[in-house]
Amino acid sequence: MPDPNGAMVWCPFPDRESAREVAGILLDEKLIACANIIGQIEAIFEWNGDRTSADEVAVLFKTSESRSEDLIQRLGDCHPYDTPAIFGWSCGQMHPATMAWLLQQTGSETE
Amino acid sequence: MPDPNGAMVWCPFPDRESAREVAGILLDEKLIACANIIGQIEAIFEWNGDRTSADEVAVLFKTSESRSEDLIQRLGDCHPYDTPAIFGWSCGQMHPATMAWLLQQTGSETE
Amino acid sequence: MPDPNGAMVWCPFPDRESAREVAGILLDEKLIACANIIGQIEAIFEWNGDRTSADEVAVLFKTSESRSEDLIQRLGDCHPYDTPAIFGWSCGQMHPATMAWLLQQTGSETE
């Protein structure tokens, strides 16, 4: 069995309150070990053909690779936007102590 | 055909104005679907052998994996620095709705 | 030989001073080419079974993939926390000029 990987998911929210609320749900359901809420960010994008920008907060969710698919699905369900921007990637270089903590917090040790 | 991946590119800028300007060019050219401009960051590095730090803003560009190479090339061309720090990585865990939006915004559906 | 990759490591610190100090050590030892210290972030997690949150600063360390394992080990040793959250991932989409600078700064050209 190859060493397990971590995973990170980056997802902006309209405000800090909704970010904290969803992070709490995902922690309750052991889909993440930790959430980092980052600054106020400025998003620039197009919506229905119009260039627009929005002030948001970004959240970096941390989990095990084996939990990442369930995390992404659940995050999509409980996010306040209809089409949230949810980007996830594997982390193949993990500190062993961090990986052990991650597996324990997300109940993924036995996988 | 495997499921398409997303991709992210992290690149600091000297200021918010140049970050917004370049993000606009990349959106116009459908090389990205969205740009997140993050905080003021503090960069610590060595330049010509001297330790130095600089206040910058970071931008996280979001695109499809198939657009990432063109994005990185174009970003290098229009960035105000001679040697910008451009780091890109694939995102293999994407919410299906995010991936569909990404492909549509970057015109990568048919690839 | 395949093209070399970059790598990034995300790790929160209790404060800016300890983040700068550790970044200095890692630059001295050529384990990184650059560190980006990001905002104040809000971390939400569980510790010994209790939900808690903490104000931290995040650092994004930039290195070559070949240096990432040594970087992660050394970062774990000199971080002020007993169990820091150290997540690393490979960057397979690099601007050629950035990759050349990275290899030079971390002394990884000959690997």
Q: What's the pLDDT score for residue B108?
A: 81
Show residues of chain A in contact with C42, CB under 8 Å: 16, 20, 36-37
| Domain CATH for C25 | 3.30.70.120
Burial B84-102 (b: 16+ CB within 10 A, else e): bbbbbbbbbbbbeebbebb
* Local confidence band at B53 (pLDDT 50, 70, 90 cut-offs): very high
Residue B73 has pLDDT above 90, yes or no: yes
Q: What's the pLDDT score for residue B1?
A: 63
Residue-wise pLDDT for B61-70, tens only, equals 999 999 999 9
What percent of chain A stands above pLDDT 70? 96
Q: Is residue B72 part of a domain?
A: yes
Show residues of chain A in contact with B8, CB under 8 Å: 10, 87, 89
CA angle centred on A101, ends A100 and A104, rounded to 5°: 85
B7–C94 CB contact, under 8 Å: no
Q: Is residue C56 part of a domain?
A: yes
B72–C92 CB contact, under 8 Å: no
Q: Is residue A1 part of a domain?
A: no
Distance CA B72, CA B69 (A): 5
Residue A58 has pLDDT above 70, yes or no: yes
Provide the residue range defining the domain that includes A21. 6-105
Q: Is A12 within 8 Å of A57 (Cβ atoms)?
A: yes
Q: Is residue B110 part of a domain?
A: no
Distance CA A75, CA A9 (A): 10
Show residues of chain C in contact with A91, CB under 8 Å: 87-89
Q: Nearest chain C Cα to B13, which residue?
A: C36
Residue-wise pLDDT for C86-102, tens only, equals 999 999 999 999 999 99
Q: What's the pLDDT score for residue A1?
A: 62
**Residue C45 touches partner B, C-beta closer than 8 Å:** no
Provide the 10 A C-beta neighbour count for residue A12.
23
Q: Nearest chain A Cα to B91, which residue?
A: A89
- Looking at per-residue pLDDT, the higher value among C2 and C64 belongs to C64
Lowest mean pLDDT among A17-21, B46-50, B52-56: B46-50
Residues in chain A: 111
Closest by Cβ to B7, choosing from C23, C24, C93: C93
CA angle centred on A7, ends B90 and B39, rounded to 5°: 75
Q: What's the pLDDT score for residue B45?
A: 96
Q: Is residue A111 part of a domain?
A: no
**Residue B44 touches partner C, C-beta closer than 8 Å:** yes
* Local confidence band at C110 (pLDDT 50, 70, 90 cut-offs): low
Q: Is residue A101 part of a domain?
A: yes
| Alpha-carbon gap: C96 to the closest alpha carbon of chain B (Å) | 9
Q: Is residue C111 part of a domain?
A: no
B93–A68 CB contact, under 8 Å: yes
C8–B87 CB contact, under 8 Å: yes
Q: Is residue C26 part of a domain?
A: yes
* A48 residue type, one letter: N
Distance CA A92, CA C7 (A): 10
Closest by Cβ to B89, choosing from C39, C91, C101: C91
Residue-wise pLDDT for C22-71, tens only, equals 999 999 999 999 999 998 999 999 988 899 999 999 999 999 999 999 99
* Local confidence band at C1 (pLDDT 50, 70, 90 cut-offs): low
Residue B71 has pLDDT above 70, yes or no: yes
Q: Nearest chain C Cα to A22, which residue?
A: C44
Q: What's the pLDDT score for residue B70?
A: 98
| Alpha-carbon gap: A48 to the closest alpha carbon of chain B (Å) | 10
**Residue A52 touches partner B, C-beta closer than 8 Å:** no
Task: Count up the domains in chain C and report the number.
Answer: 1
Closest by Cβ to C94, choosing from B12, B88, B90: B88
A44–B37 CB contact, under 8 Å: yes
A94–C87 CB contact, under 8 Å: yes
What are the CA-CA distances from residue C47 to residues A61, A101, A105, B47 (Å)?
Answer: 16, 10, 9, 40
Residue with tokens 């401009």: B37
* Local confidence band at A111 (pLDDT 50, 70, 90 cut-offs): low
Residue-wise pLDDT for B31-42, tens only, equals 999 999 998 999
